[in-house]
Each structure stands twice: as structure tokens, then as C-alpha cells.
Amino acid sequence: MNIFLRVLFFGIIFLFLSFNNEPTDKLTDKLIGCWKYNKTVKLFVKVNKLTLEETGYEFKTNGKVTIQHFSAKRCGNYKIYNKDYNTTWQATSDSTLVIKYNYNHKTTKRELLIKKLTANFLAFK
């Protein structure tokens, strides 16, 4: 009977730890803030605020994200394109983000796999 209780106890502990979503919470805590794309190192760098001339993400605590896309093309004059997409995001695991946004009157869902995430750097696969 004593062995049965130990097996039962460790089984319950194992199940509890399996369904614990702490890694997702840690991911969420690290993601909150502004991330600017750095072309030199080909990853996102954490910044205090995105300027109009930068491409990046601003992840907010309420599940909202602003995706800022910037491009400058030269065709006689400099033409600057800047587009903000106000969308939603959700961490579905400790390495996967799902972003939903409207594009051409359609709701699009995109999964992003995180390759590296530290306090200062973010890279997607």
C-alpha cells in the first residue's frame, strides 16, 4: 500500500508539472516591449520605442501587437512606405507565437517559431 501511495503521489506531481504553463508565462514576460529588426545581425533587438524609420514589433500585455513595416525605395525620389498593423498575438507554447491580422479583408493567422529569445534579442526560424 505504501508503494501505491508513492506512485500515486509522484504521478499527480508529474501531471501537475506537465500542464503547468509557466514557460509560456516566461515567454510572455520576455516578449512584452518593442523589438526593432537589425539587418546587420538579422534578428530583432529590444528598444524602448520604435521610430517611424524602423521595422519591428511592439508586443503589449493585453494580447495586442503592432507590426510596423518600413521600406524606403529610390525611384527618382525617396518614397517611404510605413504601415502599422494592429493585430493580436498569443503564445501557444514556450517557442511558438500565433499572430492574427486582417489583410485584404481576410483574417490571417500566422505561426512564428522562436529560434532565440533573450532579454535583448529575438530571432524567428
Query: Could you report the per-residue pLDDT of 70-108, keeping only the tens digit for each?
Result: 766 655 555 555 666 778 888 888 888 898 887 777 888
User: Is residue 109 domain-resident?
Assistant: yes
User: Is residue 6 domain-resident?
Assistant: no
Query: Could you report the per-residue pLDDT of 9-18, keeping only the tens digit for each?
Result: 555 555 554 5
Tally of domains in the chain: 1
Q: The domain spanning residue 62 has which CATH number?
A: 2.40.128
The residues facing 101 across adjacent strands are 108
Per DSSP, the three-state class of 19 is: coil
User: Is residue 3 domain-resident?
Assistant: no
User: Is residue 4 domain-resident?
Assistant: no
What's the CA gap between 109 and 16, in Å, rounded?
30
CA geometry: angle 116, 110, 59, nearest 5 deg:
60
H or E segment at 17?
helix 2-18
Range of the domain at 63: 22-124
pTM above 0.75, yes or no: no
Higher pLDDT, 121 or 5: 121
